[in-house]
Structure 1
Amino acid sequence: MSSTKSPFLNQVREKLRMQGYSIRTEKAYLYWIKAYINFQRKRHPATMGKEEVTQFLSFLANSRHVAINTQKVALNALVYLYYKHLEMELGELGFKYASKQRQLPTVLEPEQVSEILAQLKGRDKLIIELLYGSGLRISECLRLHIQDIDTERLSLTIRNGKGNKDRQTLLSKKCVRRLVQYSSTARELQVQDNQQGIGPSLPNALERKYPNAFRQPAWMFVFPSSTTCNHPNTGTLCRHHLHQSVIRKSLAAAVRKTNIVRRVSCHTFRHSFATHLLQAGRDIRSVQELLGHNDVNTTQIYTHVLGQHYAGTFSPLDSL
């Protein structure tokens, strides 16, 4: 069942957009709703309920062996489908949760971060520096607008991060001059686009409320795409931010030129940011806020990566 050809899935998409869900949430929910329908041999969800949902969620844990967080996303998608779209009650779901496996994040040594950065140039180097220097997710970095940079207070504002939360984080002095340069270049591109009646992609409600917002420098992406596209919600011709795949390919090429054998992704630099701050003695609550974690227990995992765990406890062998 293709979502573009399915009237039902298109209705779900339209309602998600009307209710202000992010594009990422929309894609995830539609993916799992479609998977659920296919699993139940393309029966209409309105003809199913608690039993079928429980079967699907148990299948994900027992046969697909998905991670618990993946199963929770699927659960959220189906809860949305029944409670908010179909307005049907499901009641208590007696399914088995996937086993929760704690995987320690991959963290680089400072020397390894420097080694990778040495293989990068220009825009791509600056983006990786921001991931490490500010603890950003790659999506958060590429969505930075000119208005989100405060060079006086050395801070970045992250808007609509994970969980639709805003937060502020650190900005390294080493990034300021080049960030200003790239912001200026992006602004020049915006002026050229404005002459053709187009500009940066905007949140749907903002575009309706302020039709000329695309002309304001504040809304221009610091790292814009080289091409224009149609806005996924409105169909308006606009310029989106740089695609994540561009940076991932550049990073992979840089890592191959080093002697680093562990798997390195864009998220590795966020992990390294948190671990190195804790290693330097920073308060875990401060690190939690910089990362935008709801629960300090999420941040706590980085203490397990350090050579010393929990309040500076060392191995008893070291005292012999």
Structure 2
Amino acid sequence: MVLMAVGTGLRRSELFALKWKDVDFAANHLSVTRSIVSQVVGVCKTEASQKPVPLHESLAQALLEWHRHTSFRKREDWVFASPHSNGKRPYWAQAIMRYHVAPASRRIQLQKRVGWHTFRHTYATMLKQVGTDIKVMQELLRHSSVRCTLDTYTQAIMPAKRAAQNAVLSLIFAEVQSKPSETCTVLHP
């Protein structure tokens, strides 16, 4: 589940609402057609949310392995069907977080609190880090606007900030070094 969340940027409501019929292994993509919040199935957040999501080969292999492992393999079954409900409902996202993800994050001594949305933010930040075009990012995250992608889901990482600062300072110092005969005057009020 975590691999799917961080590898696709799906919202928690979309991840847990996936059914096997939504997974196209031949074309390697997911169809996001519904969401589930508090065990209530509904429509997706926005029209843009319903666009297909590419499925990397490694994620497809992980899903195939899960398909072999789970007892709930029919097209109408939830991808992450809960055995506690005999497959009639997906796992409860908060229970997975509380009993599995949070303890694992404590074991590896993560300093920040981890939630399902953390994986979506991480996906967005990594897309930006590898130089993904902003329009592609918007579509991968299935946002209705580029503004939402920029304002909410990306953050500048320290190496990128340092590289930007270094580039500016190299211009400044190159300018100063090219005019060695001029002196710098500091004005005091």
TM over 0.5: yes
> How much is the aligned-residue C-alpha RMSD, in angstroms?
2.4
What's 1:257 paired with?
107
**Identity fraction in percent:** 28
- Equivalent position to 2:45, from 162, 178, 185: 162
Looking at structure 1, the residues matched to 62 and 123 of structure 2 have their Cα atoms a distance apart, in angstroms, of 20
- Equivalent position to 1:305, from 153, 156, 160: 156
1:286 Cα shift? 1.0
Query: What is the CA deviation profile of residues 80-103 of structure 1, one whole-angstrom value per residue up to 9, with x for unaligned ones?
Result: xxxxxxxxxxxxxxxxxxxxxxxx
1:136 Cα shift? 1.0
Matches within 5 A, 1:46-195: 127-160=1-34, 161-163=44-46, 165-186=49-70, 188-189=71-72
1:285 Cα shift? 0.8
Q: Structure 1 residues 297, 189: CA separation in 2 closer, same or farther (over 3 Å shift)?
A: closer
What's 2:186 paired with?
none
Looking at structure 2, the residues matched to 272 and 148 of structure 1 have their Cα atoms a distance apart, in angstroms, of 24
Partners of 1:251 and 1:266 within 8 A in 2: no
Q: Quick one: which amino acid aligns to residue 157 of structure 2?
A: L
Give the TM-score taking structure 1 as reference length. Answer: 0.44
Structure 2 unaligned regions, length at least 5: 35-43, 174-189
Matches within 5 A, 1:226-237: 226-228=83-85
DSSP-derived class of the 2:52 partner = strand
Partners of 1:133 and 1:170 within 8 A in 2: no
Looking at structure 1, the residues matched to 62 and 89 of structure 2 have their Cα atoms a distance apart, in angstroms, of 21
Looking at structure 1, the residues matched to 113 and 149 of structure 2 have their Cα atoms a distance apart, in angstroms, of 21
Partners of 1:143 and 1:241 within 8 A in 2: yes
Query: What is the CA deviation profile of residues 168-223 of structure 1, one whole-angstrom value per residue up to 9, with x for unaligned ones?
Result: 1122322222312323454x446xxxxxxxxxxxxxxxxxxxxxxxxxx3211111
1:148 Cα shift? 1.1
Aligned residues, how many?
156
What's 1:241 paired with?
90
Bigger relative contact order (CA 8 A; separation at least 6): 2
1:246 Cα shift? 2.4
Query: What is the CA deviation profile of residues 96-138 of structure 1, one whole-angstrom value per residue up to 9, with x for unaligned ones?
Result: xxxxxxxxxxxxxxxxxxxxxxxxxxxxxxx000111111112
